[in-house]
């Protein structure tokens, strides 16, 4: 929904003047092709994890307007929601814009009794991804907020530090279940093979031929299944099955890690037919690791796509709903689209983007 009030004209204290500089930041959403689930500490601390992923031209965006007082106002332009509190107060994590509250507490700090400490601000949030899309929207928003806040307070952070800070906000401060791939993918941007271990995280940028990337875009389709999913419960189930030593879960995760490397090799050699087949293998392995990630309607959509020209595909994110990524024969994309639209699917165009987090200053509201 559109926000009904203009963020720069409803409060005289935040109208920009020629002397006021606004801060803007945006962080891209991501597509994960293989390895999701191996980026959970329970797995990678034992075996090492590997994820193949890329950022796309969909974003979480923020605008930050510094205030002369110690007040914080956070506005979601997507949900007509406003949260207000003072920096001398503990933020209440009640489900209302908690990611932004926690990021502010981490980067901007709190005001003491003497007024020293953090700085008041107005923060406006907007995202191209609905909740539960499977495209890492929460991490993208957290990264964008951290980027704008760090610029405001003059804190210089490299991409690894930004990713780890976002991970701490989501996993430690808010207790949200999940792995590490989303934070690193959106902070760095581009096509990456990301490796996780107990000691460190390594982001390996892939130098994929431009013609191969263009052709890959021609073969991929992104279809919204008509339902969102809440990943925390699915992740916790997978964690429970892994810790219990369920053989299929362990084997499925091992296969996902292997497939991530194989898909990387297919991209670097331009073997897109192999890439599409591996995408199908990755989906089957993901179901072995956690059979709850799909349901009858999603399974029917996927098999319909396969019968009509899709070589491979997978649900993005932890599963349960959101977007279905499909690798199709170019000449049969129309058939796949028509069949899935009759089943309630909604298709959206996208393109790969190399840029990760971007932060800039603006004098224009």
Q: Please choose, from the candidates 64, 158, 51, 140, the residue with its C-alpha nearest in 3D space to the C-alpha of residue 104.
A: 64
Distance CA 231, CA 318 (A): 5
Residue 282 tokens, joined = 């990755």
Alpha-helix residue ranges (DSSP H) falling in 6-84: 41-47
Catalytic residue among 80, 88, 182, 215: 182
Residue 61 tokens, joined = 């965006």
Buried b (16+ CB within 10 A) or exposed e, 54-91: bbbebbbbbbbbebeebbbbbbbbbeeebbebebeeeb
Distance CA 232, CA 298 (A): 19
Phi, psi angles (nearest 5°) of residue 10? -100, -5
289, 254 Cβ separation under 8 angstroms: no
158, 234 Cβ separation under 8 angstroms: no
* Max Cα–Cα distance, the chain, nearest Å: 68
What's the distance, CA 294 to chain centroid? 20
Distance CA 70, CA 118 (A): 7
154, 108 Cβ separation under 8 angstroms: no
Distance CA 184, CA 120 (A): 28
Distance CA 247, CA 219 (A): 34
Query: Is 182 marked active-site?
Result: yes
Q: Please choose, from the candidates 114, 115, 83, the residue with its C-alpha nearest in 3D space to the C-alpha of residue 99.
A: 83
Distance CA 12, CA 81 (A): 19
Q: Please choose, from the candidates 325, 327, 282, 310, the residue with its C-alpha nearest in 3D space to the C-alpha of residue 51.
A: 282
**DSSP single-letter state for residue 206:** -
Give the residue numbers marked as catalytic: 182
């Amino acid at each position: 929904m559109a926000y009904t009030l203009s963020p720069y004209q409803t409060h005289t204290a935040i109208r920009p003047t020629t002397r006021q500089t606004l801060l803007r930041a945006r962080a891209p959403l991501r597509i994960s092709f293989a390895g999701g689930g191996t980026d959970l500490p329970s797995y990678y601390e034992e075996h090492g994890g590997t994820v193949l992923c890329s950022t796309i031209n969909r974003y979480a965006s923020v605008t930050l307007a510094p205030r002369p007082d110690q007040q914080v106002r956070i506005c979601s332009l997507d949900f007509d929601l406003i949260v207000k509190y003072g920096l001398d107060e503990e933020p209440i994590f009640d489900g209302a814009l908690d990611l932004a509250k926690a990021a502010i507490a981490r980067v901007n700090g709190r005001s003491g009794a003497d007024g020293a400490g953090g700085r008041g601000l107005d923060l406006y949030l907007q995202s191209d991804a609905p909740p539960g899309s499977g495209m890492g929207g929460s991490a993208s928003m957290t990264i964008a907020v951290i980027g704008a806040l760090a610029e405001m307070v003059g804190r210089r952070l490299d991409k690894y530090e930004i990713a780890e800070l976002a991970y701490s906000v989501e996993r430690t401060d808010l207790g949200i279940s999940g792995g590490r791939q989303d934070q690193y993918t959106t902070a760095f941007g581009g096509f990456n093979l990301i490796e996780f271990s107990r000691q460190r995280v390594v982001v390996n940028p892939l130098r994929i031929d431009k013609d191969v990337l263009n052709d890959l875009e021609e073969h991929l389709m992104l279809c919204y299944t008509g339902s969102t999913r809440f990943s925390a419960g699915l992740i916790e189930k997978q964690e429970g099955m892994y810790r219990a030593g369920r053989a299929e879960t362990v084997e499925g995760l091992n296969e996902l890690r292997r497939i991530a490397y194989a898909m990387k090799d297919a991209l670097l050699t331009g073997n897109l037919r192999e890439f599409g087949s591996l995408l199908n293998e990755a989906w089957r392995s993901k179901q072995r690791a956690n059979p709850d990630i799909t349901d009858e309607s999603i399974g029917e959509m996927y098999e319909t796509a396969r019968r009509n020209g899709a070589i491979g595909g997978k649900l993005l994110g932890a599963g349960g709903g959101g977007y279905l990524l499909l690798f199709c024969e170019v000449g049969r994309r129309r058939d796949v689209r028509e069949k899935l639209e009759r089943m309630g699917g909604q298709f959206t165009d996208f393109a790969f983007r190399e840029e990760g987090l971007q932060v800039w200053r603006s004098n224009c509201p």
